Copies of this chain bind each other. A is one copy, B any other.
């Protein structure tokens, strides 16, 4: 038996595979395809305090090994989530993270304070890195000062652990990660999508109505892995890695560079049981290589 459990410090996970926010709906969408208890946990789609319309379509473009999305965080808002969806998730023994968004610092705090009253949430993943809401992809995680202050506010308001989700669209990811740590984050997750665009040469229009969107999928894995590696050596809090993970092998790369857990995003669209399959592939690898505890593989990169 391979011990796949990992300890984030503030939380133990059955295994290191989580589903990434915005790619796993509210979890329920995946019930027909897999047992939600078989993965480490999942992060629900980004929630603002109130419901959000999202961006006008087209919202998706496929690129070479990647997907650009400009969903714009369409969603139900924390109230409807907590009242209608969360109760249906409580039956699961898996860790449920809420990805918290806000158009202003105050809205993040309002969402957190509202959700604080409900049971069944393992931690908040503070989405300070969505490139699809403000013009030109602006978001708090582009700036270490804002990252620090917002994480600090969130931490003060929250009764649950805070995971700061960082943006790859920065010169120095380590600086931002440290700001999040100093602000009191209990963990860091990265990367969110990379600001990108595509053009239809026949119509000479952007392929996304929003012009810009966020690039995800296998295309970005090498960039994500580099950033995760840079961050793990600079902070003491646990790091959750993501970006382009499609297979157990991809996930293992992130664990080896030092991520304590991983999130699987775009892969869920192609294979709705991707997270489950990846857990299995990690287990197989461990068996083949006589790894008794997956936790022992974290951060073993030989340089």
Contact = CB atoms under 8 A, between A and B. Distances in A.
Interface of A: 61, 63-66, 68, 136, 142, 169-171, 194-199, 201-206, 211-212, 215, 217-223, 225-226, 229-230, 244, 249, 252-253, 256-257, 285, 289, 300-303
A302 B205 contact: yes
Contacts of A206: 301, 303
Contacts of A225: 196-199
Contact of A65 (B66, B203, B204, B302): B66
A192 B123 CA distance: 38
Given A65-B66, A171-B142, A256-B204, A215 B211 contact: no
B196 A222 contact: yes
B218 A195 contact: no
**Most chain B beta-carbon contacts within 10 A, residue among A65, A204, A223:** A223
Given A199-B257, A302-B205, A194 B223 contact: yes
Given A136-B230, A169-B171, A301-B206, A199 B253 contact: yes
Contacts of A217: 64
Q: For the complex formed by this chain, how many copies does it contain in all? A: 2
Nearest to A225: B197
A63 B222 contact: yes
B201 A244 contact: no
Contacts of A171: 142, 169-171
B219 A64 contact: yes
Nearest to A252: B201
Contacts of A252: 201
Contacts of A223: 194-196, 215
A133 to B, nearest CB: 16
A222 B205 CA distance: 14
A64 B230 contact: no
A186 to B, nearest CB: 25
A211 B303 CA distance: 8
21 contacts: A63-B218, A63-B219, A63-B221, A64-B65, A65-B218, A66-B222, A136-B230, A171-B171, A196-B222, A196-B223, A196-B226, A197-B229, A197-B257, A198-B253, A199-B301, A201-B252, A201-B253, A204-B256, A205-B301, A212-B226, A215-B223
Contacts of A170: 170-171
A195 B168 CA distance: 11
A168 to B, nearest CB: 9
A206 B303 CA distance: 7
Nearest to A194: B223
A41 B65 CA distance: 30
